[in-house]
Amino acid sequence: MRLTAKAQTKHIGNAQGASIPAPVEGWDTVSPLANMSPKRAVALENWIPRPGWIELRRGFQLKSATAEDSPVETLMAYNGKGSVNQLFSIVNGTVYDCATSTAVATTVTGLTNSRAQHKMFSNNSDTQYLIFCNGADTPKIYNGTVWADLNVTGTGINQDNFICLTSYKGRLWFVETDSTTPCYMDVGAISGTASQFPLGSLMTKGGYVQAIGNWTIDTRQTVDEYLAFITSRGQVIVYEGTTSVLRSVGDAFSGLRATF
């Protein structure tokens, strides 16, 4: 028997163009490739997703540099009245003024860590303040000219443990590290005695209060502002607060409501 190889026929494929949408939905590191939306990117380097297109990152412009090689872990903006606007950074436990191309160290040095939570606040004297805390050192306050230690006292309150802060209806609120009891100041107060606000009985999954922030709900008929406490176990306690935004110093809080 004689075997004869069949002549092979060369097939030339026809390439066809296809449109691929821009990854306007951003970088996806969770979805499987087979199920990933074509509007998401497996890798996204130096591109910024925009509505309907992606924009090439334009690089950077050196604003201010420190003499240290340590990374900048916190940036804080002070927005005062008029044209008084300043930018501060925290590098290796030191607060720097970034007003010039070479950052200048302020009087705040020797911090235990450089990761801080910060907040602008205005008191009853109409002065704008920048306040920050890091959960390990005495919180600092800036009045547009000088830095100083914050002075908050109260039964069972240690201000050096303040890890998070916010303002709600004219009051400063603070959360201590690994605590279930936030505290609040009097209306417009930036120093003095704070009052505790125990939440442990509402934290049915245990843990501690990890963050605090404002939550605004717009129903198109009314705009309501609430205070939200977020726990380390994923629960959120929502506080309705007083019935009026403007309250005199010393007024008691009322209307606690907790939802999950």
Residue with tokens 């209306």: 187
129 CA to centre of own chain: 18
Predicted pLDDT at 6 = 59
Predicted pLDDT at 216 = 85
CA-nearest of 33, 94, 104 to 65 is 104
Average pLDDT of every residue of the chain = 85
Predicted pLDDT at 7 = 57
Question: Is the predicted pLDDT of residue 47 greater than 70, yes or no?
Answer: yes
| 209-231 pLDDT tens trace | 999 998 888 777 777 888 999 99
| Spatial distance between the Cα atoms of 71 and 90, rounded to a whole number of angstroms | 9
The per-residue b/e assignment along 234-254, b for 16 or more CB within 10 angstroms, e otherwise, is ebebbbbbbeeeebeeeeeee
Other C-beta atoms closer than 10 Å to the C-beta of 118 total 20
Other C-beta atoms closer than 10 Å to the C-beta of 161 total 17
DSSP 116: -
The maximal CA–CA distance of the chain, rounded, in angstroms, is 110
Sign of the C-alpha dihedral computed for residues 176, 177, 181 and 182 taken in this order = positive
| Residues 228/212, Cβ–Cβ less than 8 Å | yes
| 245-254 pLDDT tens trace | 322 222 333 3
| 75-129 pLDDT tens trace | 999 998 877 889 999 999 999 999 888 899 999 999 999 999 999 998 867 789 9
More confident residue, 253 or 22: 22
Predicted pLDDT at 230 = 92
Predicted pLDDT at 96 = 95
Percent helix, percent strand, percent coil in the chain, to nearest 5: 5, 35, 60
Question: Is the predicted pLDDT of residue 260 greater than 60, yes or no?
Answer: no
CA-nearest of 133, 150, 135, 152 to 95 is 133
Q: How confident is the model at residue 243 (pLDDT cuts 50, 70, 90)?
A: very low
| Residues 169/241, Cβ–Cβ less than 8 Å | yes
The CB-side HSE value for 98 (13 A sphere, CA atoms) comes to 20
| 128-137 pLDDT tens trace | 999 999 999 9
Q: How confident is the model at residue 49 (pLDDT cuts 50, 70, 90)?
A: very high
Predicted pLDDT at 73 = 94
Predicted pLDDT at 222 = 78
What's the CA angle centered on 72, arms 228 and 212, to 5 degrees? 5
